Amino acid sequence: MAMNLSRILAAAAVALLAFTSCGPDKTAGTVGDGNPDKPNVSVGKLDFYPAFESPSGLVTPRNVYVWLPEDYSRSRKYAVVYMSDGQNLFDAEKMFNHQEWCVDEVFGGLLKEGKIQNCIVVGVANSFRTRSQEYFPQDVFDLYSPELKEYSRSKRLGEDDLLGNNYLKFLVDELKPFIDKTYSTRKDREHTFHMGSSMGGLISSYAVTKYPEVFGGAGCLSTHSVLYITNYEAEQEFIDPANQCYVDYLKANLKPNSCKLYMDRGDQTLDAQYPKYQDRLDSMFKAAGWDDAHYVSKVYPGLSHVEGSWASRLDVPVLYLLGK
């Protein structure tokens, strides 16, 4: 598996410019490495916590956005959906590409129609500088061969770079207690979910394996199952075994039908790299005995790796995880 590392790094630099899983933040370096302004919502209410700090320094300060339905009341209890890339969820005008997930419209509409249980959404902004390091499923690295570990280090995703365990510990030990204290939530795993796209899909699947007692389900859209920002055609000798390690990790750490897991992909732009690897995941889950009530995998022809595409199908995983 020998390869010139300078060629790898050059290819990675080119791929990084084209990588649009969250979009490069034009205001990187501001509060929380995201747009410091409070997003506007058209449905419900948004509570905004700028530069929310980790008391123990597990992660850098970042904005936290809490969406509440229009009829939110402390006399009721609410499920909680934690979502990665929180600055991308609500307001296209605050986005570099003028796209958003339409979280308030989708959740609000489904609640108004009575199709899902009462819930709130907690969006956690990414830190652009370390997004890949925070969303990479850290324990997968331990399964790598020496050659694959060296490759991962060349991508700034070596053992000294990875922050996924810190990020999830921040969510579970620091942010969740704050949310449960501040809002009228259902605290149990059956009513706590994680959702994200691209590498946000990776960390969502990792959350239910790392903290199965906390998260009862995950929504993983356009899951970045190739794990790296790279020249995929030129580096198959690394990408393929890295994906296999990810699949093996999920197989070893998720008991069949122990949670609700939703995965999907489009087939345009970056999503065009995913069919082989999503198929591998699907085969593993089927062989392991997961049933349709606990594992769902979908393909959306014509959709790409951008917020608009995720918004167009967001109702599907939301109904799957929270449907009545």
pLDDT over 70 percentage in the chain: 89
- Pair of tokens at residue 91: 């307001």
Interval 88-123: pLDDT, tens: 999 988 877 889 999 999 999 999 999 999 999 999
- Residues 6 or more apart whose Cβ sits within 8 Å of residue 10: none
pLDDT at site 24: 29
**Mean pLDDT on 36-63:** 93
pLDDT tens-place string over residues 157-203: 999 999 999 999 999 999 999 999 999 999 999 999 999 999 999 99
Q: Where are the beta strands (DSSP E) in the chain?
A: 45-52, 62-68, 79-83, 119-124, 192-197, 217-221, 260-265, 295-299
Ordered domains of the chain (ranges, CATH): 5-322 (3.40.50.1820)
Measured distance CA(320)–CA(153) in Å, rounded: 37
Confidence category of residue 11, pLDDT binned at 50, 70, 90: very low
Q: What is the pLDDT of residue 16?
A: 39
**pLDDT per residue as tens digits for the range 259-309:** 999 999 999 999 999 999 999 999 999 999 999 999 999 999 999 999 999
Residue 23 in this model has a pLDDT that exceeds 50: no
- Integer Cα distance of 144 and 94 in angstroms: 39
pLDDT in tens, 226-267: 999 888 888 999 999 999 999 999 999 999 999 999 999 999
Give me the pLDDT at residue 93, please: 87
| Three-class secondary structure of residue 40 per DSSP | coil
Residue 4 pLDDT level (bands cut at 50, 70, 90): very low
| Whole-angstrom distance, CA of residue 218 vs CA of residue 122 | 14
> Looking at residue 98, what is its pLDDT?
84
Q: What's the pTM value of the predicted model, to 2 decimals?
A: 0.89
Q: Decide if pLDDT at 6 tops 50.
A: no
Whether 61 shows a pLDDT value over 50: the answer reads yes
Residue 72 has pLDDT above 90, yes or no: yes
Compute the distance between CA of residue 59 and CA of residue 240 in angstroms, rounded to an integer: 30
Range of lowest pLDDT (25-29, 139-143, 204-208) = 25-29
pLDDT at 13 over 50: no
